[in-house]
């Protein structure tokens, strides 16, 4: 009788769970126990393997039906019916793909590379528009100098694992199928540290801050991600990659909309009515303070928009720059001197529509 844990319990679902519920549960459990999230954790790696195994069975209607009827024994050849060994191997094909995609492959595959890292970096609008290079601080595991990465204390060295005899793998026959998995004793390394290094607790790695030069291309925007190859976590077969999520600082002069910029300029009531020139901010590599003079026609209304093509953000694909959209906002005075009030009253009387009644009366007299 198999002592393996129930597949439904492994994924945390009921026996009548739908295929969608099983898929969601698998994603949740696989993410929780993924080796990249649990480096050097043999227990988590074993759970990850078993979660994959459970999903491969329960996501397949035929295999699930066999498992529901015969349990683990059915999948090991005890209740598969007339299909024989060919049917068993067919059912296990997908499981092999999942089981041997981890740190150590099947049939002598090499160890996987290190995991990826992700950091977030905030840059200014000018840096994003015209590109820049930044030193990004990355806190990540690095080789322990005290033990030279072996994990063993000074004066000692790792010993060959007695369980896997230095191969890093153990094999287990289940029915007609031979399963090979990383050794739980040594974590697939083939060696066992008897006297761990005190600095790294036998892991061979310590967390250390390091600087990475990251190039931000012109036109990059918030929410985009850069990949820096080889700057991730170290691994037996090379380092992983570093992913940099881009965030932008607020700029008091502009709002960004893709390659376009939106600026708002305030003008006095008199300038809007009479027309004239106004200075608007423009984005240049030199930074703040750059302006350009634009003309306003007489009678400019609040919300009037002026579009300056080619004065926005350089496009990421190098095809020119977007536009600068300038919205005019008319400032109405809130405090008036007595003279200013009188002048506005006179202006109001001057601009008021002329009464047409006298003209109507004149036409009536002419008609008589």
Digit-coded pLDDT (tens) for 63-121:
888 788 777 776 764 433 333 333 333 334 444 444 444 433 344 444 567 788 999 99
- Per CATH, which fold does 7-99 belong to? Helix Hairpins (1.10.287)
User: Could you report the per-residue pLDDT of 303-312, keeping only the tens digit for each?
Assistant: 999 999 999 9
Q: What is the pLDDT of residue 362?
A: 45
CB 261 within 8 A of CB 312: yes
User: Domain locations in the chain?
Assistant: 7-99, 251-368
Range with top average pLDDT, 52-56, 93-97, 163-167, 277-281: 277-281
88: left (phi over 0), alpha (psi -120 to 50) or beta: alpha
Residue partners of 264: CB distance under 8 A and separation at least 6: 326, 327, 329
CA distance 240 to 229: 7
242, β-bridge pairs: 117, 228
Q: Which residue has the tokens 């009536």?
A: 364
**Residue 212: pLDDT above 90?**
yes
Backbone angles phi, psi at 327, to 5 degrees: -100, 130
CATH number 2.60.260.20 is the correct assignment for the domain at 251-368: yes
């Amino acid at each position: 009788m198999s002592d393996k844990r129930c597949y439904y319990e492994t994924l945390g679902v009921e026996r009548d769970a739908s295929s969608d519920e099983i898929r969601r549960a698998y994603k949740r459990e696989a993410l929780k126990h993924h080796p990249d999230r649990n480096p050097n954790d043999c227990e988590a790696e074993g759970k990850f393997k078993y979660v994959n195994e459970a999903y491969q069975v329960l996501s397949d209607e035929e295999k699930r039906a066999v498992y529901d009827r015969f349990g683990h024994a059915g999948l090991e050849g005890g209740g598969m019916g007339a299909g024989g060994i060919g049917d068993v191997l067919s059912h296990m094909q997908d499981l092999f793909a999942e089981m041997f995609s981890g740190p150590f492959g099947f049939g002598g595959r090499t160890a996987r590379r290190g995991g990826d890292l992700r950091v977030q970096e905030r840059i200014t609008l000018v840096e994003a528009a015209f590109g820049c290079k930044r030193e990004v601080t990355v806190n990540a595991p690095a080789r322990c100098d005290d033990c030279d990465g072996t994990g063993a204390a000074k004066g000692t060295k790792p010993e060959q694992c007695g369980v896997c005899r230095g191969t890093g793998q153990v094999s287990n026959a289940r029915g007609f199928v031979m399963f090979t998995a990383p050794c739980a004793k040594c974590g697939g390394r083939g060696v066992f540290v008897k006297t761990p290094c005190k600095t790294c607790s036998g892991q061979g790695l310590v967390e250390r801050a390091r600087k990475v030069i990251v190039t931000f291309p012109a036109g990059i925007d918030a929410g985009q991600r850069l990949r820096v190859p080889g700057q991730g976590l170290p691994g037996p077969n090379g380092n992983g990659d570093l992913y940099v999520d881009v965030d932008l600082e607020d700029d008091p002069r502009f709002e960004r909309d893709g390659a376009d910029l939106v600026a708002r300029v305030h003008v006095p009531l008199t300038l809007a009515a009479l027309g004239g020139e106004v200075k608007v901010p423009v984005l240049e590599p030199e930074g703040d303070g750059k302006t350009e003079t634009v003309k306003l026609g007489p009678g400019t209304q609040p919300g009037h928009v002026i579009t300056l093509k080619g004065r926005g953000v350089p496009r990421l694909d190098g095809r020119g720059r977007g536009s600068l959209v300038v919205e005019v906002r008319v400032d109405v005075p809130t405090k008036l001197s007595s003279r200013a009030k009188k002048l506005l009253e006179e202006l109001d009387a001057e601009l008021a529509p002329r009464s047409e009644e006298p003209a109507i009366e004149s036409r009536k007299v002419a008609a008589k």
